[in-house]
A and B are shown apart, each in its own frame.
Chain A
Amino acid sequence: MKMFIKCSLATAILAASVTTAQAETELVVVSWGGAYTKSQQKAYSVPFMEANKGIKIINDDSSAEAASKLRAQAEAGKVTWDVVDVLPDIAIALCDEGLAVEINPEKDLAKGADGSSAKDDFGDALISPCFIPEIVYSTTIGYRTDKVGDTPPSTIADVFDLKKYPGKRALNKNPTGNLEWALIADGVAIKDVYKELATEAGVKRAFKKLDTIKKDVVWWTKGAQPGQLLADGEVVMASAYNGRLFSAIVENKQPVGMMWDAQLFELDGYIIPKGAPHMKEAMAYVKFATDTKRQADQAKYISYGPARKSSAALVGKHAELGIDMAPHMPTNPANAKNVLYKDINFWADHKDELAEKFEAWLAKG
């Protein structure tokens, strides 16, 4: 009998401890994994959990398949994600399908530290009613300093110049960016690129320019590949996300340089799925994560810039290397002399058609 009481007492205590553990809200935040998720964990999630005892953040690295998984969750009638980190075009698609919650920037997002309204502080970055901007980054060109001679490439036209810079180039296996760059290299002014690309002749012109280097292109599909290809010496130059080039150059000390000419400037941000299990906490999280201080903090851990204007002045030093991060930001005035702003709406309209053409072009050999 005694034994029985002991046992049941132990069970009761165990059960009680389990229930307290369950009383904690588990907020599922979906992101890209790797160094990027780590920077978000350090800059947003850890301070958020300290400020809100009882909320535990669970990281899920599914952003690459976010759209299809979220659609499947919605079709099954059970959404399990609370916050999802996505690219703007996916945010627009999910918003169109009614799978993401529309937000009101003035009400749902924090004011800028300088007192500016959220709407002004984010400015053009608010590209869709569902999209909560977080960082800006760019796709730009990295090159092997030991394989380009005394005059390293300085304009995007150099990427298409096989005479001046012979050797393989790695480009993203995706029409986005490559078609724009081809037109710029072919003499189109950076502000007219999308106007040109909207015409059939413009598309033909872009592919014709790409034809000139086709044989010398290695196509990459994952963000980590171009850095590796440069490090292995498989290519002379490569398009890559600026954060990846930063880590190749500064963190891993590879003989790699980078140029910022015609950098393809893009955003990344959050959406909240419709039917998220912890809507209130999810709203609180994105408000916290995208405030002026947190946005500036993230740049300590990764070289992507804050989407808020008011955060730019607060960007400090790298948390481990102690170097100034501001010169490595895509928005730094010295880097932003000639910027190609990705036209999200153009790509929402033309991605299907141009991706088809791009694949057909690739397959032609």
Chain B
Amino acid sequence: MSQSSSTLKTADGSLQMADGSSLKANLERSLRRRKRNALLLVAPLFLFILITFLVPIFDMLIRSVDNKITAEILPTTIPLLANWDAKSGKLPDESVFKAFINDAQIANKAKIINRLGKRLNYEKSGTSSLFRKTGRKLKKLDPEKLTSTYKDALIKIDKKWANIAIWQLIQRESGRYTNSHFLSAVDTENSPDGIKWKDEDSQIYLNLFKRTLWLSFLITFLTVLLGYPIAYLLASLKTKTSNLLMILVLLPFWTSLLVRTSAWIALLQKEGVINDVLVTIGLISEDGRLAMIHNQTGTIIAMTHILLPFMILPLFSVMKTINPSYVRAARSMGATSFTAFRRVYFPNTVAGIGAGGILVFILSIGYYITPALVGGTQGTLISNFIAYHISESLNWGLAAALGTLLLLLVLALYILYDKVVGIDNMKLG
């Protein structure tokens, strides 16, 4: 075997460059340089994703379990309260009450005591006003001049402090992290006897998760059903005609989401266009006007229409690449047109259905504006409740827990999809 002129073989068998350095080291160096250059090129994108995507998600995950507020506001009470046996049936002893009054007075001066009341009110209604009242009255209380015990002084402010449940609650929520938001997100709660289901008349989220999943599947299925023939038509027509028709697909895609949703309201409502037409031609009576909006039907119709382009576009680009001679060959060998479609054409488009399906499904599982406008009470999705807790109830911990569960759900479905269909089979074009 002839050796290249620039490398020599040394005694121990390793290759050397002409200048005597090891070829292996040289190769490694140049590989490293190339890797570094590649990394530098990717760095801006990586940083972008890190800052705008990964960090917020991580922040959300933390928020859903974060509970440092109790220890922050009651720093000396918490260690003392930890020794108290919550199941003893007796109130904590005097030292706890003394520490609590001290902590509360410090927090009161810093005007942060009500934050804890607000946080604990999520677990037990009435805690918010209990803390507000206590804070107000503690301003006038001088511990130096106390004539009774601390316990009696606090109970005098509000007799709710004589209720064991409030101390059990503080003890339970004293840790750095809490599971209560996640428990709420699946309709359960902590109780002195462990985790239990919430009362039936307070359960919402599990049903919402189920509804969100079911509607997303249904909408994905409907977009395939409606989008497949359109994509087929677009792919099989002459480019000139298909380009023209493509505009009809893209035009609504470019129109504002709110405009499209409002248009559906005008069409579908009780006194709307469709009902008017049906009444005029006598198909339904004036009293029998159909309820097609502010319910699940409204959500399904509007979302299917809005998400349809996300199905048509990947399908179209996949169908474009299928050689028409495949089907012709199948036909020439005696297949009926249906068999040719089923055995030859359709399997080639599965990659497009997969891509469009995943796109539509993931978009619809987090959809928010359209269901809020046309969904009524039966057509709202889990994201509407996340929005509610972010902007109205201000329970960001619960919103984060719901968001995290939704994220995990999507990841689980993604893995399932990979196992069943294989993610490599997905093709966006």
Contact = CB atoms under 8 A, between A and B. Distances in A.
Given A68-B390, A351-B393, A96 B117 contact: yes
Contacts, number: 83
B271 interface: yes
A98 B111 contact: yes
Given A67-B394, A353-B125, A356-B202, A363 B377 contact: yes
B125 A234 contact: no
A102 B394 CA distance: 21
Nearest to A65: B391
A232 interface: yes
Q: How large is the interface on B (under 10, 10 to 19, 20 to 34, 35 or more residues)?
A: 35 or more
B115 A234 contact: no
A357 interface: yes
Interface residues of A, number: 35
Contact of B204 (A67, A71, A363): A363
B212 interface: no
Contacts of A234: 269-271
Contact of A356 (B121, B204, B392): B204
Interface in A107-149: none
A97 B393 contact: no
Contacts of B129: 345, 348-349
A218 B294 contact: yes
A233 interface: yes
A359 B204 contact: yes
A219 interface: yes
Given A173-B377, A363-B204, A363-B208, A96 B393 contact: no
A322 interface: no
B262 interface: no
B104 to A, nearest CB: 14
Contacts of A221: 372
A123 B203 CA distance: 40
Contact of B377 (A65, A97, A219, A233): A219
A173 B376 CA distance: 9
A337 interface: no
Contacts of A65: 391
B141 to A, nearest CB: 18
B132 to A, nearest CB: 7
B178 interface: no
A360 B118 contact: no
A150 interface: no
A10 interface: no
Interface of B: 110-112, 114-115, 117-118, 121-122, 125-129, 132, 200-204, 207-208, 269-271, 294, 372, 376-378, 385, 390-396
26 contacts: A67-B394, A93-B118, A96-B117, A96-B132, A97-B114, A97-B118, A98-B110, A98-B111, A173-B377, A218-B294, A219-B377, A232-B269, A232-B271, A234-B270, A345-B129, A345-B132, A348-B128, A348-B132, A351-B393, A352-B395, A356-B202, A359-B204, A360-B201, A360-B202, A363-B207, A365-B378
The 9 closest A-B pairs by CB, nearest first: A96-B114, A353-B125, A362-B377, A68-B391, A349-B129, A360-B204, A349-B126, A350-B125, A65-B391
Given A96-B117, A234-B269, 9 more contacts: A98-B114, A102-B111, A348-B128, A349-B126, A357-B201, A357-B202, A361-B201, A363-B204, A363-B207
